[in-house]
A and B are shown apart, each in its own frame.
Chain A
Amino acid sequence: MGAIYRREMNAFFTSGIAYVFLAGFALFSGLFFSFGVIGSGVSDMSPMFSSMFIIVVFLIPILTMRLLSEEKKNRTDQGLLTAPISLSSIILGKYFAALTLFIIAESIVFIYSIIIALCGQVIWSTLLGNYFAMLFLGAAFIAIGLFISSLTENQMASAVIGMFVLFVLYLMDSLAANIPVEFIQKAILSASFYTRYLEFTRGVFDLSSVVYFISIAVLFNFFSVRVLDKRRWG
């Protein structure tokens, strides 16, 4: 796992994806920070975090698009799958590399907190709550993106499908609102990523949501392993 993790981290930077991702994250979070937080004169960064959801929807597929697609296309998966390592360590190595880059990107908020600390009071509890909420959200999204990457040889297809799927997850709330049947509506809302995420930005640290996001991450990583395994049996 360590070898794959290190390789993927290097590949993120040599392929330039890391720079695109970090720059995208910095740009949009910077915009939301200056307009939503500094501009409205509040010291709470929650508005920035809630706006970042839609940005993450589009950025994470860029991060995950090549992770498995490229291996399959270049036939480098043959090297991995015939090496004396387990399938799960291949997936997890890649998963944690992407997650690490996400954490690096997200940690830019601590620079913002210094700016706030210069002119006001940082509310650390909500900041950390938001920070971890985004981390868990990213953890779930990356697992979904990685899974989609395992399904196709084409990086672009992987990115587009990933964005589409995550965007649908984002729209689930509005979808639910238009469904007249109450229990379906309820079911969709309880599975909604956005509602759960917004709870955090409102200052509610809900453990069940944490468990939910982590479960999604575990589930989709498991699916990715199954896809690799199934390919062997195909």
Chain B
Amino acid sequence: MIEVRNLSKRYGDKKAVNDISFSVGKGEILGFLGPNGAGKSTTMNMLTGYISSTSGKILINGVDILEDPIGAKANIGYLPEIPPLYVDMTVDGYLNFMYDLKKCKLARKSHLKEICDLCKISHVRERLIRNLSKGYKQRVGLAQALINNPPVLILDEPTVGLDPSQIIEIRSLIKKLGKNHTVILSSHILPEIQAVCDRIIIINKGVVAADGTATEIADKLTNEHKMTVRIEGTTRTADDKQEIADALKAIDGIKYVRADMEREKGIYDYDIESDDEVDVRRAINNLCRNKGWNILMLQLSDMTLEDIFMKITSGDISTVAENSESKASLSDFEMSFDNGKADGEKEETEAKPEAAEEPVAEEKKEEASENKKSKKSKKGGDK
């Protein structure tokens, strides 16, 4: 569907994109991930013909974007970073304009109605775009990209500036669209990429740093397993801590053990790293059975997308700084996830006050449950 070969873009001396190659199949949702200034938007602008490449080839549906720009562009719906909206027009006027601009042949009324329903902007169609909130502007931008039902959708940070419930709506919309469109979407929000995309390309400093599913990339990058085990010793005092840690360290294949903080009274968590080839879970279980200890929890924590991202993009101070920034906002996100998933108890306590509270916004609850769901699926993926 989309084929990119040795694509480069140079601005003066600076190589914004350097020899990128990849291809995207039909019905695939590809996530572009990278720190700010990595070349995501530049690549997308080249894919859509907004800017030209310095060298390389881009085929959209088999059509070369430089040889037949009009033919190639007809296959693309593009939502740029800043939606190209004319603020002096009404939503309806704007969508009709884009309909004409794209020389759409589909029945005008029903096609636009369908798109507006899909993007949930039907009730603002008569409003001036100037007066819409950021979230609605973003949706109008997405609606614009969908006009003429292009087989390829290219979305540059589609959820930026939206509130959490809108983010979830847009994500599920993108997922729905991914069933019969080829979608490329860029983001620097990791859970978003993880929640929506089948495949991830990590771009750093203008080159493809990784390409594959999150698990594939993690496998390539690491040759070790990480897990956290909560073990109850016989005495349930701090004395257990050292004994258990030492015993764990003695297990074949375990490279590293660190006793974590006291989780329950006299019970500690242990972070374990082991070799990739060895599954140490049975050995740990046997050890505990022999010693009369109880395993209260065992959680695999292989590299998350976040770890991958950090690992790939670290190395230069400015990128690291940026990452930690995005990580901060990210961990906020993750925290809400974690609250939801940690264990049944927590989940309940979290859900209860919300239910007890006077009817908070409906979406909020939906959002929480969505969060849990996506986290669960993520967790499953990790295992």
Q: Which residues of A contact B (CB under 8 A)?
A: 2-4, 6-7, 10-11, 14-15, 74-86, 231-234
Of A4, A14, A79, A82, which is within 8 A of B49 by CB?
Answer: A82
Q: Is the interface of A mostly helix, strand, loop or mixed?
A: helix
Instruction: Using known A-B contacts A81-B50, A232-B52, determine if residue A6 contacts B100 with beta carbons closer than 8 Å.
Output: yes
State whether A3 touches B97 (Cβ < 8 A).
yes
From A6, A77, A84, A86, give the contact of B84 (CB < 8 A).
Answer: A77
Q: List 28 A-B contacts (CB under 8 A).
A: A3-B97, A3-B100, A6-B100, A7-B97, A11-B89, A74-B84, A74-B85, A74-B87, A76-B86, A78-B78, A78-B80, A78-B84, A79-B80, A79-B101, A80-B101, A81-B49, A82-B48, A82-B49, A82-B73, A82-B76, A82-B80, A83-B101, A83-B102, A84-B71, A85-B101, A232-B49, A232-B52, A233-B51
Q: Which residues of B contact A7 (CB under 8 A)?
A: 86, 89, 97
Using a Cβ–Cβ cut-off of 8 Å, how many residues does chain B contribute to the interface with A? 29
| Beta-carbon nearest neighbor of B80 in chain A | A78
Answer yes or no: B93 CB below 8 A from chain A CBs.
yes
Q: In the complex, are the beta carbons of A3 and B101 less than 8 A apart? A: yes
A80 vs chain B, min Cβ distance (A): 7
Q: How far is the CA of A84 from the CA of B78 in the complex (A)?
A: 11
Identify which of B52, B78, B84 contacts A76 (C-beta below 8 A). B84
Known: A82-B73, A232-B51. A15 touches B88 (CB 8 A): yes
B70 at the interface (CB under 8 A from A): yes
Say yes or no: is B132 at the interface (Cβ < 8 Å to chain A): no
B20 at the interface (CB under 8 A from A): no
Q: Which of A6, A77, A232 has the most CB of B within 10 A?
A: A232
Secondary structure of the B contact surface, majority rule:
loop
A65 to chain B, nearest CB (A): 15
**Cα distance, A35 to B93, chains bound together (Å):** 44
Q: Which residue of B lies closest to A13 (CB)?
A: B88
Q: In the assembled complex, which residues on chain A have CB atoms less than 8 Å from the CB atom of B97?
A: 3, 6-7
Chain B residues whose C-beta falls within 8 Å of the C-beta of A14 in the assembled complex: 88-89
Taking the nearest CB of chain B, how far is it from the CB of A207, in angstroms? 37
Instruction: Looking at the assembled complex, report how far the CB atom of B218 sits from the nearest CB atom of chain A, in whole angstroms.
Output: 35
A94 CB to nearest B CB, Å:
13
Contact of B88 among A3, A11, A233 (CB under 8 A): A11
Query: Separation in Å of the A234 CB from the closest CB of chain B?
Result: 8
* B70 proximity list for chain A (CB < 8 A): 84-86
User: Who on chain A is nearest to B144 by CB?
Assistant: A79
How many angstroms from the CA of A93 to the CA of B71 in the assembled complex? Answer: 20
Report yes or no: A84 in contact with B93, Cβ–Cβ below 8 A: no
Among residues of A, the one whose C-beta sits closest to the C-beta of B86 is: A76
